[in-house]
Amino acid sequence: MFALPDLRVASGMVAAGEREWNVFTNVLGNVANSFEDIESGKQMAASMRQSTTPAVLAECYRTSTCIDLKDLLPEAAVPTLIIHEPEFPFGSRSLCQEVAKYIRDSRVVEICDKSIAGTVHDKHVHAIDRFLRPCATGERRDAVPGTPHAPPTVSGSPLTTREIQILSRVASGLTNKEIAAELGLAISTIERHLVNLYTKIGARGRVEATGNALRFGLVGRPPS
């Protein structure tokens, strides 16, 4: 997120005194609403000055750059709605899509409101209501793309039955040794299969492989 130009510029500013702090918060408040609502920008600036200090905000930015939740995303066990608001300068559709890639049952929607800036929420409320109550609104929540038996690959080569067996067990948290014992294979054989299937699905390790397995229904299937 901190690679986004607007946020990189905003978070890179350091206020040394009260005058600079006032200027900084006013700029940040108005950038957040795209300089379209001066009064709202002033309110956001005042809120920042009341709730934090330059030193605390700088530390917040520094700490935030070290946070990576990617490993936790595959553990999401409920349908997840990811909202991209293009009007908000610190957002990114590609970032939303990257997050969705690791959550098994997720949907990315784009909503042209100004909810994050705190001014217009109607479309967000409607989208959330429609997501939470698809039956009440007469809609059907789309199934996750793909099928359990044919997860997509980046190499063009489908996973073999054995590779699917191993991938599902990796996603279930088994170690290579445990997988080898369960399938009656040598650990070196499991490692070779892992190298091959990682290449096919474009995974760089167990976490990304688990994300693929979760998204395409390979977890919780009966052993085969």
Cβ of 57: how many Cβ atoms within 10 Å? 20
Q: How high is the pLDDT of residue 194?
A: 92
Q: How high is the pLDDT of residue 171?
A: 84
Q: Domains in the chain, ordered, with CATH?
A: 5-64 (no CATH), 73-132 (no CATH), 161-215 (1.10.10.10)
Contacts with 125 (C-beta within 8 Å, 6 or more apart), sequence order: none
Confidence grade of residue 144 (pLDDT, cut at 50, 70, 90): very low
The model's pLDDT over 149-184, given as tens digits with 9 standing for 90+, comes to 445 455 555 788 888 889 888 888 889 999 999 999
Beta-ladder partners of 80? 106
Q: Who has greater pLDDT, 150 or 61?
A: 61
User: How far is Cα 3 from Cα 110, in angstroms, rounded to an integer?
Assistant: 21
pTM of the model: 0.50
Q: How high is the pLDDT of residue 186?
A: 92
Q: How high is the pLDDT of residue 219?
A: 57
User: How far is Cα 194 from Cα 192, in angstroms, rounded to an integer?
Assistant: 5
Compute the average pLDDT of residues 87-108: 84
